[in-house]
Amino acid sequence: MTTWLLNPKAHATADKSLLSAIVLMWSLSSSMVLAAVASPDFPEVKATHPSAYAELNDRHGLVLARRRVDMDENRLDWTALADMSPALVEAVIFAEDRDFYRHHGIDWGATSRALVNLLHGDKSRGASTITMQLVGLLHPELAWRKGGRSISSKWQQMQAARALEAHWTKAEILEAYLNLNQFRGDLSGIAAASNALFNKQPSGLDRDESLLLAALLPSPTAPAATVARHACTLIQAGFSHSSCERTRFLATTRLDQRRIPFNEQPELAAIAWRYLSTEQRHVTTTLDGKLQAYALERLQAQLASLRDREVNAGAVLVLDNASGEVLAYVANAGLVEQGRFVDAIMAQRQAGSTLKPFLYQLALEKQLLTAASLIQDEAIRLPTPQGMYIPQNYEKDFKGIVTVRTALASSLNVPAVRTQLLVGVDDFWQRLRALGFDSLTEMPDFYGYGLALGDADVSLWMEANAYRTLANGGLSSTAHLLPTALPATPVAIMDPQTSFIVADILSDRQARALTFGLENPLATPFWTAVKTGTSKDMRDNWCLGFSQRYTVAVWVGNLNGAPMRDVSGITGAAPVWSELMAYLEGQQWHTSTPQPPSGLIHQTVSFTGVQEHTRQEWFVANTELATVSYTPDDKTQILSPSNETIFALDPDIPAQQQLVRFRSNATSVPLFWWLNQHNLGSAKELRWAPVSGKFRLALRDAHGQEQDAVVFEVRGRQAKSHH
C-alpha cells in the first residue's frame, strides 16, 4: 500500500466534499454493482492458471522432474494459503493493505485522498487494496497502467472489488493475489518466486525473505537497491523482527541472479522429455523418489572414486520382480554436461559376460549339460572367415577342467564358447530375441562365436528385464515406468527348473571364488544372484542381479564409448549394485533361499580327477549323477600352439614380449621338440623367439618316433631386442 502525502489543511474541504460525492454515487449505484461486474469463481481462477511446467511425479506424488511447456509465463503449481509462511502473509498485508481484514474491498479513506490527488493532476498509483489489485490481475483492462487511469476506470475497479468481496473469502482473495502476481523477471506467482530466488517452498520463507518479496510487488523490475530501500522503509514503519542489513544483502545477492532450481533434474531429463508435454502436464510414474535419489547419490559417489581411471558416466535401473514396475531409473549420472540428456539406460553397448547365464540355461534346458558336467577351460582356436577366433579369460590364464557351475559363476570364457558350440549360435540368438534383446537385428552368423562372450550391443533396459525373467523362473513380461491397470500376462520363455539352477549358480559365493575370491561386493548377507560383465577394451562395465523381490542393473563407462583404465565388474558397477541391494532389502534381510520348482532333484555329487569338492547339486529329474569322473587323455598332444595358427609380429612391440609358447601334455616319457627338423631339446614348456616363415612343430621320443605335430605360420617383422 502506498502512503499518500497530502496537506490535511489544504485539502480538508475538498476531501470532505469529494467523499460525500463518492458516498452518494455509491448509494445510487449499489443496487447495480453486483450485476454490473462479472465476478469469476475462485475455483475457476485457480483452474485457469496452471503451472508453466509439466511435472513427472513418483508413486507417492513427489515431483521428480519438471519441463517448461508454457513460455508465456514462468509459474509453478498453485500454492494454497495454508502452505505459505505466516511471515509472508504478514509482510504482504503490512506492505500493501494494512486494513485488509477490516474493509470490504475498498479503503474509503485512502480512496478519497487518491481522488483528491487525481483532481490536482497526480495520477500516481495508490489507494488500491489487495482486493482491487487482484481485480486488476483478473481483469487487465481495469489494472493500473503507466500514466495513471481515469476516474471512471478507478470506479469500475472499485465496483469489481466490492463484487469480488461479496463472493470470495478473504483467504481466497489473498491466496489468489499471491499466486497471480508478478514478482521478478518472468517469475509469476509466489511458488516460482520463492523457489527461484531462495531455493525453497513458500512455506519456508523467513521474515526477511518475505519482506523482500512484499517489497517487490509495487515494482517487480525495480533495481535491487530500490527494492531494498523500500523494504527498509517498511521496517522503519513498524514491520518488526526483520533486519534491514540482511534484506539489503538478499536483494543484492538474489534479485539479479538467474536461479531456476525447479528446472529438469539431470538424471531424469531424458525420460522427462519423453513423457512431459503441453498435453501431459502431470505424469505419475512407478518410481520411488527416495530410492531414485539414493541410487543417484551412490552412483555419483562411485564415479567420483573412479575418476582417475577415466570413468565419468553411469546408469542404474531397479525393477520390482513381481510387478515389473520400475522403481529407480537413473538414466544419466549428470556429470557430463554435454551428455546430460543422454538416456544411458536405453543406449546400446556390448554386453560382455552378462549374456552367459542365458546361454547356460539353454544348454541345461536342452539337457546337453548339467550343473555338474565337466567342461574344458583350455586354449582353443576356432577358424572363421575373418581368421582364427581365440577366446581368452579375463585373467589371461586357463583353469583346466571345471564344472559348469564353476565355469558360469567364475565367468570363464572358453567354457562359454564351448557351450555355444553345443547349443548352436542360431538357437542361442533366438532365445536372446525371445528374452527381449531386440537389438540383435543381424542374423546369427554375424555374431558367431563371440555371441557367447557378449559381442552384441544391448541396453541396460533389455538386460534388466531379462534378468528379471530369470528371477521369475523364466516367466517374461514387459517392465513399465507408468502405472497400468492391466499388467501384461507373463509368457514362459525359459523352463522354471533350469532357470532356478542358473539362479542358484549365480548366488554361489564358493563357485565364483575361482575368479573373484570370497570377499567382494557380490557377496551379500542375504540371497542374491548376480553377474558382472566387461566389454572389449574395458569400454563398458555391467553388474546385474536380483534378490527374491528386486532386480538391480548398473552400468558404468563413458558416454562417448572411450575405454576405462583397469576397471572390472568388481571394481566398477558392483559396489553400486551391492549398496542398492542392501538399501532395498533394508532390515528385512532373510536367510531363506527361493523355493525350488517341482521336477528338480537335490543330489550329492562326488568328483574324481578334478579339483571339485563333493557337494549337493541341483539336477533336472532323470539327469542326476552321484559321481562325476575325469580321466585325462593318455594320447600325447601338443597343447600350444594350435594347428594352423597364424602369428602376426608387431615391430613396435619388444621381441621379448612376442615369444611363442610351446606346450604339451608330456609327463614321464622323455620327449623332444622338433621344429622344421631341428631338435630344440626336451619337450618341457618352451618360449620360442619367432621369425617369419612357415613351421612344423613335432613331438618325438628318443627313438625319433613322432607322437604329435602341428603347423603354424609367422608373418611380419620381429622387433629389435632392447638391452
Q: Which CATH number is 678's domain given?
A: 2.60.40.10
Report residue 194 CA to chain centroid gap. 28
Residue 502: pLDDT above 50? Answer: yes
Q: What percent of the chain has a predicted confidence (pLDDT) above 90?
A: 59
Tell me how far apart the alpha carbons of residues 636 and 667 are, in angstroms, rounded to a whole number: 9
Can you give the pLDDT at residue 388? 76
Q: What are phi and psi of 291, to 5 degrees?
A: -65, -40
Residue 16: pLDDT above 80? Answer: no
In a domain, 133, yes or no: yes
- Residue that is written with C-alpha cell 627313438 in the block: 703
Burial of 383 (0-12, 13-18, 19+ CB in 10 A): exposed
**CATH code for position 132:** 1.10.3810.10
Residue 247 sits in the same domain as residue 162: yes
In a domain, 201, yes or no: yes
Tell me how far apart the alpha carbons of residues 493 and 416 are, in angstroms, rounded to a whole number: 21
Can you give the pLDDT at residue 361? 98
Edge to edge, what strands does the sheet with 645-648 contain? 645-648, 706-715, 693-701, 671-675, 678-682
pLDDT category at 379 given cuts 50, 70, 90 is confident
Residue 113 sits in the same domain as residue 182: yes
Residue 564 sits in the same domain as residue 652: no
Burial of 112 (0-12, 13-18, 19+ CB in 10 A): buried
Q: Are the CB atoms for 496 and 473 separated by under 8 Å? A: yes
Q: How far apart are the first and last CA of the chain?
A: 91
CA angle 510, 514, 516 (to 5 degrees): 85
Can you give the pLDDT at residue 140? 78
Residue 14: pLDDT above 70? Answer: no
In a domain, 425, yes or no: yes
Q: Round the average pLDDT of the chain to a whole number and report it.
A: 86
Residue 331 sits in the same domain as residue 239: no
Size of the chain, expressed as the number of residues it contains: 723
- The residue-averaged pLDDT of 614-637 equals 89
End position of a domain, from candidates 620, 649, 680: 620
Can you give the pLDDT at residue 568? 80
**What does the block give as the cell for 602?**
537335490
Residue 579 sits in the same domain as residue 645: no
Can you give the pLDDT at residue 606? 96
The CA-atom distances, in angstroms, between 122 and each of 8, 93, 144 are: 16, 25, 14
In a domain, 186, yes or no: yes
pLDDT category at 261 given cuts 50, 70, 90 is low
**What does the block give as the cell for 209?**
525473505
Residue 480 sits in the same domain as residue 579: yes
Q: Are the CB atoms for 708 and 682 separated by under 8 Å? A: no
Tell me how far apart the alpha carbons of residues 558 and 555 are, in angstroms, rounded to a whole number: 10
Residue 243 sits in the same domain as residue 386: no
Residue 221: pLDDT above 50? Answer: yes
Dump the DSSP string for 135-160. HHHH-GGGS--TT---HHHHHHHHHH
| Residue of higher predicted confidence among 343 and 118 | 343
Tell me how far apart the alpha carbons of residues 313 and 558 are, in angstroms, rounded to a whole number: 5
In a domain, 522, yes or no: yes
Residue 612 sits in the same domain as residue 516: yes
Residue 3: pLDDT above 80? Answer: no
In a domain, 628, yes or no: no
**CATH code for position 369:** 3.40.710.10
Residue 649 sits in the same domain as residue 598: no
User: Strands (DSSP E) along 404-466, which ranges?
Assistant: 457-459
- Specify the DSSP class assigned to residue 684: S
- The residue-averaged pLDDT of 261-286 equals 81
Q: What are phi and psi of 618, to 5 degrees?
A: -90, 135
Domain that holds residue 136: 8-56+72-254
Residue 373 sits in the same domain as residue 246: no
Q: Which of 47-61, 493-507, 708-722 has the highest mean pLDDT?
A: 493-507
**What does the block give as the cell for 356?**
552367459
End position of a domain, from candidates 591, 620, 649: 620
Q: Which of 313-322, 628-637, 686-695 comes out lowest in average pLDDT? A: 628-637
End position of a domain, from candidates 254, 284, 309: 254
Count the domains in the chain.
3
Can you give the pLDDT at residue 111? 63
Residue 674 sits in the same domain as residue 604: no
pLDDT category at 267 given cuts 50, 70, 90 is confident
| Residue of higher predicted confidence among 37 and 239 | 239
- State the helix-helix crossing angle for 460-471 and 356-365, rounded to 10 degrees: 40
Specify which residues 542 forms β-bridges with.
Answer: 533, 555
- The residue-averaged pLDDT of 88-108 equals 91
**What does the block give as the cell for 586?**
533394508
CA angle 207, 96, 220 (to 5 degrees): 80
pLDDT category at 301 given cuts 50, 70, 90 is very high
- The residue-averaged pLDDT of 3-26 equals 42
Strand 457-459 to 615-620 pairing: unpaired
Other residues' Cβ atoms within 10 Å of the Cβ of residue 622: 8
Q: Which of 483-487, 558-562, 631-635 comes out lowest in average pLDDT? A: 631-635
For 59: left if phi > 0, alpha if psi spans -120 to 50, otherwise beta; the answer is: alpha
Tell me how far apart the alpha carbons of residues 448 and 352 are, in angstroms, rounded to a whole number: 14
- Residue that is written with C-alpha cell 565337466 in the block: 374
pLDDT digits (tens, 9 = 90+) for 230-250: 999 999 999 999 999 999 999
Can you give the pLDDT at residue 12? 41
Can you give the pLDDT at residue 7? 37
In a domain, 170, yes or no: yes
Tell me how far apart the alpha carbons of residues 216 and 257 are, in angstroms, rounded to a whole number: 15
Burial of 466 (0-12, 13-18, 19+ CB in 10 A): buried
**What does the block give as the cell for 52?**
508453466
Strand 540-546 to 529-534 pairing: antiparallel
In a domain, 288, yes or no: no
CA gyration radius, the chain: 39
Residue 439 sits in the same domain as residue 405: yes
State pTM to two decimals.
0.77
Q: Are the CB atoms for 127 and 99 separated by under 8 Å? A: no
